[in-house]
């Protein structure tokens, strides 16, 4: 089985589905002959040509609006937004058009498309190339949100996303695009949306994370294990719909929970997870649920490593919940 990084796994998924389904087209800024700013679409133009691998102007509302039209008329577009920070000019198209077609038509029309975009910091990109805007879209009914943390999941989840009849926002962790490597099947496989994964079993505390923060959670769990603390790490993988059953099973087992996300703390997705857990499992909790998050500031340039959660901050939260 070949070893791939996340970029290679994403490319493999796109290539697999484009070969299997002639309705699949990709479009975005510089994604054609150039292969995209991160090279995720490298080689696709040569194989599938300009009718299916389409370079667009730098106009995100136009990219998404065009893709919506394609989807409504029978194609299955996969637009790329070059950085997650650039998605905001297309916010109206996504929230008020794309996500509502099935509902507003009484189920008569679907709008099958996958929006791919890299998110998160860690590449010294500053405040316009480092944001994690997942909470804005999780709050949008009619839109599925997926956030893989490793190459195997990235390919399987992307293939499953491209076969949905509902729109999916597929958020890729750019910090570990090439750093995360693992075995990935060359052939076709899917991972079901809405199903979390336990990446490390433990008994004292549940760590919940997604995307680029899963590797931080796993590093913190290893450090905690060196101190004799058994930590369970749960990778959500899909943020909407999220796997509440898996979360509750883990938290009821450990009695304690720490949530790690890179986005700002206030109104981040961690707050919804805390509410969901406490509404259903408060009698099982031995301590308050803690969050380790980004700060309530614009994403900084020179101080990004002060802003982003790290393993030491997570270990401190683990100790705090154990000592409560």
pLDDT digits (tens), the chain, 324 positions: 899 999 999 999 999 999 999 999 999 999 999 999 999 999 999 999 999 999 999 999 999 999 999 999 999 999 999 999 999 999 999 999 999 999 999 999 999 999 999 999 998 888 999 999 999 999 999 999 999 999 999 999 999 999 999 999 999 999 999 999 999 999 999 999 999 999 999 999 999 999 999 999 999 999 999 999 999 999 999 999 999 999 999 999 999 999 999 999 999 999 999 999 999 999 999 999 999 999 999 999 889 999 999 999 999 999 999 999
Residue 205 and residue 148 in one domain: no
Q: Cis peptide before 241, with omega less than 30 degrees from 0?
A: yes
User: Which residues on adjacent β-strands are paired with residue 205?
Assistant: 231
Q: Which helix (H) or strand (E) holds 1?
A: none
Question: How confident is the model at residue 181, as a pLDDT?
Answer: 96
**In terms of domains, do 219 and 112 share one?**
no
Report yes or no: 109 and 63 within 8 Å, Cβ to Cβ.
Answer: no
Residue 188 lies in a domain: no
Query: Which phi and psi (to 5°) does residue 290 adopt?
Result: -110, 155
Cα separation of 177 and 181, whole Å? 9
Quick one: 139 and 168 in the same domain?
yes
320: which residues sit within 8 A by CB, 6+ positions away? 290
Residue 232 in contact with residue 254, Cβ under 8 Å? yes
- Which residues are catalytically annotated? 129
236 and 156 in a common domain: no
- Does residue 192 lie within any of the structural domains? no
Q: Give every strand in the sheet of 257-264, ordered side by side.
A: 197-200, 231-235, 205-209, 257-264, 290-294
**How much is the pLDDT for 1?**
87
Does 108 share its domain with 174?
yes
Q: What is the pLDDT of residue 151?
A: 98
Question: Do 222 and 121 fall into the same domain?
Answer: no
Residues 131 and 225 in one domain: no
- Does 226 lie in the same domain as 158? no
Last residue of a domain, one of 158, 183, 208: 183
Structural domain including 276 reads: 197-323
CB atoms within 10 A of CB 314: 27
Strands 114-119 and 168-173 turn out to be: parallel
CATH classification at residue 178? 3.40.50.970
Give every strand in the sheet of 24-28, ordered side by side: 53-55, 24-28, 76-80, 114-119, 168-173, 144-146, 238-240
Work out the widest C-alpha separation in the chain, in whole angstroms.
60
In terms of domains, do 147 and 239 share one? no
- N-term to C-term CA, the chain: 46
216 shares a domain with 74: no
How does pLDDT run across 62-109, given as a tens digit for each residue? Answer: 999 999 999 999 999 999 999 999 999 999 999 999 999 999 999 999
What pLDDT, on a 0 to 100 scale, did the predictor assign at position 56? 97
Report the number of distinct structural domains present in the chain: 2
Which candidate, 90, 45, 40, 44, places its Cα nearest to that of 68? Answer: 90
Residue 174 shares a structural domain with residue 251: no
Query: Of 183, 214, 233, which residue sits at a domain end?
Result: 183
Among 29, 37, 33, CA closest to 7: 37
**pLDDT for the residue numbered 272:** 98
What confidence score (pLDDT) does residue 70 get?
98
Of the three residues 146, 161, 183, the one that is the final residue of a domain is: 183
pLDDT at 125: 86
Task: Indicate whether 67 and 169 sit together in one domain.
Answer: yes
The CATH number for 237's domain is 3.40.50.920
Q: Is residue 189 part of a domain?
A: no
Taking CA atoms, 28 is separated from 1, 23, 142, 258, 259, in Å, by 31, 17, 23, 37, 33
Q: Tokens representing 137?
A: 């879209």
Q: Give the pLDDT of residue 302.
A: 87
Calculated CA dihedral for residues 247, 253, 255, 259, nearest 10 degrees:
-30
């Amino acid at each position: 089985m070949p070893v791939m990084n996340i970029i290679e796994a994403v490319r493999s998924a796109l290539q697999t589905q484009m070969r299997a389904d002639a309705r699949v087209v990709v479009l975005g800024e510089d994604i054609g002959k150039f292969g995209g700013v991160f090279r995720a679409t490298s080689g696709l133009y040569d194989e599938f040509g300009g009718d299916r691998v389409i370079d667009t102007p730098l106009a995100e509302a136009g990219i998404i609006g065009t893709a919506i039209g394609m989807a409504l008329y029978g194609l299955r577009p996969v637009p790329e937004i070059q950085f997650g920070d650039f998605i905001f000019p297309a916010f109206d198209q996504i929230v008020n058009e794309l996500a509502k077609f099935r509902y507003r038509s009484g189920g008569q029309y679907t709008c099958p498309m996958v929006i791919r975009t890299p998110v998160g910091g860690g590449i010294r990109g500053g405040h316009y190339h480092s944001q994690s805007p997942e909470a804005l879209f999780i709050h949008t009914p009619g839109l599925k949100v997926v956030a893989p943390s490793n190459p195997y999941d990235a390919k399987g989840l992307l293939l499953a996303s491209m076969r949905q009849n509902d729109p999916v926002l597929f958020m890729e962790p750019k910090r570990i695009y090439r750093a995360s490597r693992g075995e990935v099947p060359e052939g076709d496989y899917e991972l079901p949306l809405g199903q979390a994964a336990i990446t490390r079993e433990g008994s004292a505390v549940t760590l919940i994370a997604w995307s680029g923060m899963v590797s931080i959670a796993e590093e913190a769990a290893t450090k905690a294990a060196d101190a004799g603390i058994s930590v369970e790490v749960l990778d959500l993988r899909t943020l909407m719909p999220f796997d509440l059953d898996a979360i509750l099973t883990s938290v009821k087992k450990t009695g304690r929970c720490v949530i790690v996300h890179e986005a700002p703390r206030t109104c981040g997705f961690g707050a919804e997870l805390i509410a969901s857990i406490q509404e259903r499992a408060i009698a099982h909790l031995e301590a308050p649920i803690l969050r380790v998050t980004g700060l309530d500031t614009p994403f900084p340039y020179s101080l990004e490593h002060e802003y982003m959660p790290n393993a030491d901050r997570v270990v401190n939260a683990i100790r705090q919940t154990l000592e409560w």
